[in-house]
Amino acid sequence: MTSRRIRLARVAASAGWRSILFVVLLPLRSPAVSAVEPRFFFSGDGFIALQHAHFDERLAVRYRDVDGRYDPEALARIERFFRSRDDGQSGEVSLRLIELIDFVEDRYRPRRIVLISGYRSLELNQQLRASGARVADASLHREGLAADLQLDGVDLKRVWAGLRDLRVGGVGYYRQQAFLHLDTGRPRFWEPQTSRVKEKLSAGNARVFARTDFDRYRALDGALLRLHGVTALPLRIARHARFGARTVTLEPLGDDVTLTDGCYVFDQPVAAYRFRIAAAPSTAHSPAPSSEKGVGEIPQPIRVFTCAPRVAATPPEIESNPVELLLERRRREQMGDNE
């Protein structure tokens, strides 16, 4: 057995994803968005306006320009606005979450959006749990993937039902408190009586999942992938993953990992379980084997594999969000035009 130190900086049901693809092609209120292809399936016009429930602050910021470029200063303002409410600690806020909130804002047009809870520090999360609040031990607020939002002037239950049907991620409806929980984790939905937050459902890596930095790419090579919901170590990740019929290589970003027999081993907690994807050039123009006909016709997840021995409830396979390669889609469209 050899070991060395590494130093390197299921798609949802078809009908559901047909609905998603239809939604993202709808015109949004700003014509500027149509200048480029959205990088996320659920995205808005690049401008969000929020009010904070705990700080006397308002935020109105354009974080993405007409050419699809993100403004680092605007994103820093958003991160600051989302800070942990009691201790003021800031943490990374997922760009996917920002775009999802923007999508909700543009689709449902609430009179006002109030942020009740954004990023949540470990200390605040533990404090809330100790006080008896309905707070998950491995809350996605701690990873900057979740927000609790008050949407004024709209039927909150209708919004909840609509987002649930679109399978945007996690959507919780809290009628008495008049807010929605929104996150970019696995598609799921709940109300307070069905939330099961006291059961520690994420313990032992039972709900670990992966997310890429975007949904759409010109090519997969260089894309970033991050694991979320890691609650038990050691975690062993196979060096090679799958995207449809294609094998891709994962390269960890960080030093605190070893490579042993083709598997990356994380035996100590790290700030982020991130990987760069190294992908071979696409061969989508070549005829697919009969067993793989249709591969690539709809967005597909990247399938990450774990290695034995697996601790606790670690699954053998971890899926990312569905990913679409734009060049392959356009190639298919051109082939269709020529038929």
163 and 254 share a domain? no
- The predicted structure's pLDDT at residue 121: 77
Residue 110 is assigned to a structural domain of this protein: yes
Is 29 inside a domain boundary?
Answer: no
Domain boundary among 177, 199, 221: 199
What span, in angstroms and rounded, lies between the C-alpha atoms of 299 and 19?
13
pLDDT of residue 88: 81
Q: Which domain holds residue 187?
A: 36-199
Domain boundary among 143, 167, 199: 199
List, for residues 250-288, the tens digit of each pLDDT value.
999 988 899 999 999 999 999 899 999 998 655 443 333
Q: For 220-254, what is each residue's pLDDT tens digit?
A: 999 999 999 999 999 999 999 999 999 999 999 98
DSSP structure class, residue 13: -
Q: How far, in Å, CA of 210 to CA of 185, rounded? A: 9
Structure tokens that stand for 203 in this block: 């313990």
- Taking the alpha carbons at both ends of the chain, their separation in whole angstroms is 54
Question: pLDDT per residue over 100-138, tens digit each?
Answer: 999 999 999 999 999 999 998 766 555 655 555 555 557
Please report, for the domain that includes residue 271, its CATH number.
2.60.40
Within a domain: residue 15? Answer: no
* Structural domain ending residue among the three candidates 146, 172, 199: 199
Both 154 and 226 in one domain: the answer is no
CATH number for position 142: 3.30.1380
Is 104 a member of any domain? yes
Please provide the DSSP assignment of 114-152 as one string: EEEE-S--HHHHHHHHHTT-S--TT-GGGGT-EEEEEEE
Least reliable range by pLDDT among 155-164, 196-205, 208-217, 242-251: 196-205
Amino acid at 333: E
Q: pLDDT tens, 173-202?
A: 999 999 999 999 999 999 998 877 678 888
Q: pLDDT at residue 203 above 60?
A: yes
Mean pLDDT of the chain: 83
Span 47-66, pLDDT tens digits = 999 999 999 999 999 999 99
Specify the higher pLDDT residue, 195 or 305. Answer: 305
Whether residue 289 is contained in a domain is answered as: no
| Number of domains, the chain | 2
| In a shared domain, residues 46 and 171 | yes
